[in-house]
């Protein structure tokens, strides 16, 4: 095993990386897919040093004495690093963030991210994507694969790309997506008070169920039927052949489902602040 303790700007190169795991308290980390030799560029380090290990292709980046680093950050707010990592396109990526921000670009294997308050940007990422946040926002464009998102108050915004499955759960976080769906794709969104805004092609094939106990439901799809009940309201129906499924359930959040021309959209639906 190779091991480095980093407390100043440094560049490291590696013969091969088959998986990446990075843990960062504050600062930022960028993970970029590349055909070049894998590398780690550390821009700056403040507080406890970073520890980087490389063993059997597993690249690990974390703070030295991690939990002492968390306590140091809580006391002094000084425990940050700026990191850029280049790895092969098919390298699985796991990021654990406290309040650090992350950018992931061009990956095609599984991407797993856990964040407390850091924001996450995904660009042209494919494969299985798993994002869990407390208050951090996740913004993505050009995704291709499946997305699982869980949040308390963090927002999810997806623009462009094609999804086979979207599973999103939030308490007060907002969900906005403007994407293409696979023919048998599935969308399952659940919020308590978070608003939901979805835009899909008018030619989409899906069984649609939109439910809200107290929030308004709006859609541009005329073929969907509306039901108003004393304690809830719903919009249901079939789009096209109904081969896929689109389900939204909220307690008090408003729900909007829009149709667009078949050309992929470039901007997710906007929500009022």
pLDDT score for 265: 46
Between CA 19 and CA 27 the distance in angstroms is: 22
Task: Report pTM.
Answer: 0.88
Tell me if 169 sits within 8 A of 151, measured CB to CB.
yes
**CA neighbor of 204 nearest in space, from 157, 143, 264:** 264
Question: Which tokens is 236 given?
Answer: 């249901």
Q: What are the residue boundaries of the structural domains of the chain, listed by start?
A: 137-263
Between CA 102 and CA 264 the distance in angstroms is: 26
Tell me if 137 sits within 8 A of 119, measured CB to CB.
yes
pLDDT score for 48: 83
pLDDT score for 68: 55
Using only C-alpha atoms, the chain has a radius of gyration, in whole angstroms, of: 21
Across the 273 residues of the chain, what is the mean pLDDT of every consecutive 10-residue run?
Answer: 91 95 93 96 89 95 70 61 96 94 96 95 96 96 95 95 94 95 92 96 93 91 76 84 94 94 54 47
Tell me if 267 sits within 8 A of 256, measured CB to CB.
no
Place of tokens 């308050």: 117
């Amino acid at each position: 095993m190779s091991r480095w303790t980093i407390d100043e700007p440094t560049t490291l190169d590696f013969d091969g990386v088959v998986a990446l795991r990075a843990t960062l308290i504050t600062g930022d980390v960028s993970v970029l897919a590349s055909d070049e030799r894998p590398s780690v560029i550390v821009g700056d380090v403040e507080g406890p040093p970073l520890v980087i290990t490389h063993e059997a292709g597993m690249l690990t980046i974390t703070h030295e004495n991690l939990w002492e680093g968390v306590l140091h950050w809580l006391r002094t707010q000084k425990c940050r690093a700026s990191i850029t990592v280049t790895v092969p396109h098919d390298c699985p990526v796991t990021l654990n963030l406290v309040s650090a921000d992350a950018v992931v670009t061009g990956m095609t294997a599984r991407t797993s991210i856990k964040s407390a308050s850091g924001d996450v940007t995904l660009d042209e990422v494919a494969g299985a994507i798993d994002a869990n946040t407390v208050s951090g926002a996740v913004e993505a464009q050009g995704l291709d694969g499946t997305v699982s998102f869980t949040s308390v108050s963090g927002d999810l915004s997806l623009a462009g790309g094609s999804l086979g499955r979207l599973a999103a759960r939030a308490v007060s976080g907002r969900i906005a997506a403007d994407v293409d769906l696979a023919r048998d794709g599935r969308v399952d969104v659940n919020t308590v008070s978070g608003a939901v805004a979805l835009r899909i092609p008018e030619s989409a094939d899906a069984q649609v169920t939109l439910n809200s106990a107290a929030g308004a439901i709006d859609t541009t799809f005329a073929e969907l039927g509306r039901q108003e009940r004393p304690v809830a309201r719903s919009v249901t129906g079939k789009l096209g052949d109904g081969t896929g499924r689109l389900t939204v359930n909220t307690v008090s959040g408003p729900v909007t489902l829009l149709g667009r021309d078949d050309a992929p959209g470039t901007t997710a639906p906007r929500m009022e602040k």
